[in-house]
Copies of this chain bind each other. A is one copy, B any other.
Amino acid sequence: MNLDALYSELTLKTKAKLALVVLDGLGDLATKEQGYLTPLEAAHTPNLDRLSQDSAQGRMIPVAPGITPGSGPGHLGLFGYDPLEFQVGRGVIEALGLGVELQPGDVCARANFATLDAQGIVTDRRAGRIATEVCEKLCAKLSAKIKRIGDTQIIIKPGKEHRFVVVFRGKGLAGPLTDADPNREGFATPPVKPRDPKNLKQKKMAKLIADFYSAALPILAREKPANGFLMRGIAHQPEIPRFEERYWLKPACLAVYPMYKGLAQLVGMVKIEGPQTIKEQFERYLAEYDNYDFFFIHYKYTDKYGEDGNFAAKKKAIEDFDAALPILLKKKPDVLAITGDHSTPCALKGHSWHPQPVLLHSACSGSDKLARFTDTGANIGSLGIFPAKFLIRLMQANARMFDKFGA
């Protein structure tokens, strides 16, 4: 029997409130250089400590052993969608990151301004990393002149430096396509092709990209150095079962960064706008408590400082989080999970495959008798080391949302 079908069959409607609090990139490594303590272990966290006494702990494998996830697969796993089954193309992730409000069926491409010579050979794949303001100006120019191609709406959104995204909104379009990028200088931009040559939607999309190039290149012809562009990761927003129908929970997203709002929106969460700090996010949670059943609360800074390799700052970010936590606990959700979407070890200055720690607290979580929430302590918790996609099922179970299976 399909496991998701079983969960669905056993699901009961309750009045429980669930909160999934994600400290992005929380997981880390104990290394000699930092006295064999991870940032979470080195941090002063009296509020997490207190919670830990009456919680279960464990560690989660984001995708599969050894696989380092991007934010997309990391969050889809936390939302209970197998990241191998539900893949979100890079163009889509990039568009979400720039705050584009995607609609089902939209095809997105990440793009770079580039420099071409008279023969169309790419001489600089990043157009000398033009300033963000120049990028914005060029995108505005393109947007003004290319609003539609045929029956397809074109949305162009600038990013940082030479980066931008193009969204194609129309009927009968699909990705993925091959890249319009030679991947190195000295070559012409190859035309895009359907990944599946038999897919008619991909074929139509490939034609649209060619038409977009025909329309856009003349507009840029006199620009220096950005007289051309490359397009990659061309993909459509995948069809994903809606969160509310899948879990019988009305979900809200309290995130600050566009990428995470976008990922939440992909599965049908309501984006609550406004809060800019974790304190404000928790305050808003209190205010919205009665309006939703499930709250996804995202905290970015653990990942940011992990990427910087800044141990002290990551530790401090955890302490700031801990200091804000009592606000959330004023109306303690029936089920509270605190975890990361993956590890971002300071020593590696980037995402990694190491299982991230998770703390699960409810009236029926039991206690693992761990005085603190730590990476190393989580190894011996009662949740074990398990695939992240099951966290939400454990949260539902803790909310008493599953009927007994069999007699």
Contacts and interface: CB of A to CB of B under 8 A. Distances in A.
Interface stretch (A139-147, A273-281, A308-316, A392-400): A392-400
B6 A84 contact: yes
Contacts of A270: none
Interface string A377-407: 0011111111000100110110000111111
Given A30-B366, A72-B407, A94-B407, A66 B379 contact: no
Interface string A276-297: 0000000000000000000000
A69 interface: yes
Nearest to A399: B66
- Please classify how large the interface on chain A is, using the bins under 10, 10 to 19, 20 to 34, 35 or more: 35 or more
A390 B66 contact: yes
B65 A390 contact: yes
Contact of A354 (B84, B354, B382, B386): B382
A6 B67 CA distance: 9
A39 interface: no
A399 B9 CA distance: 39
Interface in A65-83: 65-73, 83
A348 B402 CA distance: 14
Given A6-B67, A379-B368, A394-B65, A386 B385 contact: yes
Given A54-B32, A84-B1, A90-B406, A67 B364 contact: no
Contacts of A84: 1, 3, 6
A233 to B, nearest CB: 7
Contacts of A351: 404
A1 B94 CA distance: 22
A397 B66 contact: yes
A261 to B, nearest CB: 15
A10 interface: yes
Contacts of A178: none
A379 B380 CA distance: 6
Nearest to A391: B65
Contacts of A7: 66-67
A94 B406 CA distance: 11
A15 to B, nearest CB: 18
Interface of A: 1, 3, 6-7, 10, 29-32, 36, 54, 59, 63-73, 83-85, 87-88, 90, 93-94, 233, 345, 347-348, 350-355, 364-369, 375-376, 379-386, 390, 393-394, 396-397, 402-407
26 contacts: A3-B64, A6-B64, A7-B66, A7-B67, A29-B365, A29-B366, A32-B367, A36-B367, A36-B369, A59-B382, A65-B386, A65-B393, A67-B397, A71-B407, A88-B406, A90-B407, A93-B406, A93-B407, A345-B364, A345-B366, A353-B394, A353-B402, A369-B376, A375-B382, A376-B382, A379-B380
Q: Which 9 A-B residue pairs are closest in the complex by CB-CB distance?
A: A384-B385, A29-B366, A66-B397, A70-B406, A93-B407, A65-B390, A66-B393, A73-B406, A70-B407
